[in-house]
Amino acid sequence: MAARNTETRKTDIESVSAILKRVIAENGREHVRGYTFAIFCLLTVAATTAFTAWIMEAVINEAFANRRADLVWIICGAIFAAFVIRGFAGYGQAVTLSKIGNNIVARYQRRLFAHLMSLSVGYFSEARSARLAAQINENINGVRDVLNLTVTSLARDLVTLVALIGVMLFQDLVLTLIVFTVAPPLMIGLRYLSRRLRSATKESIILNSHVLGAVQETVQGIAIVKAFTMEAQLQNKIQSTINEAERRANKIAQLSERNGPMTETVAGFSIAGVMAYAAYQAIYGGVLPGAFFSFVTALLLAYEPAKRLARLQVQMERAAVNARMIYEILDTQPHQRDKTGAAALSVTDARIEFRDVTFAYGSNPPVLRKLSFTAEGGQTTALVGPSGAGKSTVITLVPRFYDPAGGEILIDGTNIADVTKSSLRQHLAYVSQQPYLFEGSIRDNIRYGRPEATDAEIEDAARLANAHDFILAQPQGYDTPVGENGVTLSGGQRQRLSIARALVRNAPILLLDEATSALDTESEAAVQQALDAAMAGRTVIVIAHRLSTVVNADKIIVMQAGEVAEEGTHESLAQQPGGLYARLNNLQAASNGPHNIQE
């Protein structure tokens, strides 16, 4: 058991040390001047604190015992100067460390965002976005705290403590030894607390991220929550998590503050021993009180830095846990890195070909099984079939949101796995079933399709998307804020803006993922007109449940169970007796429904 505890302590120290080395390696050189100035200020604070304790001997002996009036003003002036210098030095180090800390947080925020943008869509399907955002928000300050705790503890607290101990040793060796008899048991107790605090802190961070994630998701889906009276269900769902987070936070508070009674008890014992010994010396030895007062002043001034150093391991453990969780995200390797020497994609005809493509999500059964078909350049290819046939998966593979497990996807004869993802996606425009709008104005959201687009090009795209008129009807026209995810707009309006965003991109390949299936009849008609304009002259792969889109397609691919079941035009497929497409077509014709060709 002892060997195991020793190994655990060694691992704990190495873990914190590894985090500290990494943080210093990544940030030390960038802020070496700032830290140098902060350390100088901290050393000044330490020196003036020790000077205050040292000069107390002169104050007591010369002013009160020897009654040297000529020295009083010099001593008082020196004390005043020491306090003024310490005040300005404390201000300088506090402001400097705050600026450095804020810069470190900002740098890691930028770095995290850039890294998250490099990760594949698969990573975000496994990591819930709300929880991920909460985790980043909770933990990112840990990197800053690791450095600031190290600098302030070493340059201020440790140096101050050493200087004050020097004063204590100079004034009375025996009293100093009395004080230090209690140090070993205190350090053992604090080490025990820090080990227990580490696991509790990590669990607390995870639980708090779950709570914040649940709150964020509830706010984002508040309309569904209200519509389905889900308030009580959601409250019950996260109640246990909140209760557990509260219990864990209380546990951390107990562990963190438990060193208070320990240090106060030890300090009380030390000071009582010092007082007893000093009283004995003064009563029976006739020793002047100046040295004793100087010693006591040094001891009292040493109490705060000693207490901060005693808490340092606990605080460092907490900061290291936070920093480690940030590095877990930063160390996540992108699954879809560009190949070494990958070239930029050159598109001429924009012909897309699937050759024996097989794909599965993780360890699940394959969604696509040796799928092969061709979407000819400048033509519209519609994907139809029952739910679960793999249509949406086809759409996600073209822009390389995921990579197939087998087979090839080619554009103009070039395997998209051999080109850079950036160049591939520059030739694509994408319209999803659920359009997503970002914070900002209508103009900003359309311009995301092509940042260099002019206002005139944005308005032309909006006209083609059948959106110009309703945009002008908004309070501020194209400069109208859309609200969170376009909450101020209807579903059809949001979809037409997403089509305008795709049009302004002016890409030769257009991917449409059931762009009209969630709309009412009137909105569908407006969006369909926009789609007809968007599809003209482009290579289009469209997932369609509406007959109005499928009828005019140059080619229809009927999918079932991840394979091509049938292929042809609407006329040829509708006349195949016993065919899947013919059956779906006959069913919708018989029902006179909304022309839905999905089972």
CB distance 464 to 530 below 8 Å: yes
Task: Tell me which residue of 49, 45, 74, 42 sits closest to 297, measured CA to CA.
Answer: 49
pLDDT of residue 8: 44
Task: Count how many residues are written for the chain.
Answer: 599
pLDDT of residue 317: 73
Helix axis angle, 32-58 to 289-330, nearest 10°: 160
The residue extents of the domains of the chain are: 2-330
Exposed/middle/buried for 525, CB within 10 Å: 0-12, 13-18, 19+?
middle
pLDDT of residue 11: 44
Exposed/middle/buried for 596, CB within 10 Å: 0-12, 13-18, 19+?
middle
- Listed in order, strand segments (DSSP E) in 302-402 are 352-359, 368-375, 380-384
pLDDT digits (tens), the chain, 599 positions: 444 444 444 444 446 778 878 888 888 788 888 888 988 988 898 888 888 888 877 777 766 666 666 677 787 888 889 889 989 998 998 888 888 888 888 888 888 888 888 887 777 766 666 667 766 766 777 778 887 787 877 777 888 888 888 888 887 777 777 667 766 666 666 666 666 766 676 677 677 777 776 777 776 677 667 766 777 777 777 787 778 777 877 777 776 666 667 666 766 777 677 677 767 766 766 666 677 777 777 877 877 787 777 677 767 777 777 788 788 888 888 777 888 888 999 999 999 999 999 999 888 889 999 999 999 999 999 998 888 889 989 999 999 988 899 999 999 999 999 999 989 999 999 888 778 888 889 999 999 999 999 999 999 999 888 889 899 999 899 999 987 767 778 888 888 898 889 889 889 999 988 776 656 666 667 767 777 777 778 899 998 766 666 788 899 999 998 999 999 998 888 888 878 888 877 766 655 554 455 54
- The pTM assigned to this predicted structure is 0.66
Cα–Cα distance for residue pair 442/489, rounded to 1 Å? 10
Residue with tokens 């030095």, as numbered in its chain: 89
CB distance 555 to 567 below 8 Å: yes
The phi-psi region of residue 522 (left if phi > 0; otherwise alpha if psi is between -120 and 50; otherwise beta) is alpha
Which CATH number applies to 2-330: 1.20.1560.10, 3.40.640.10, 3.60.15.10, 2.40.50.180? Answer: 1.20.1560.10
Cα–Cα distance for residue pair 408/368, rounded to 1 Å? 12
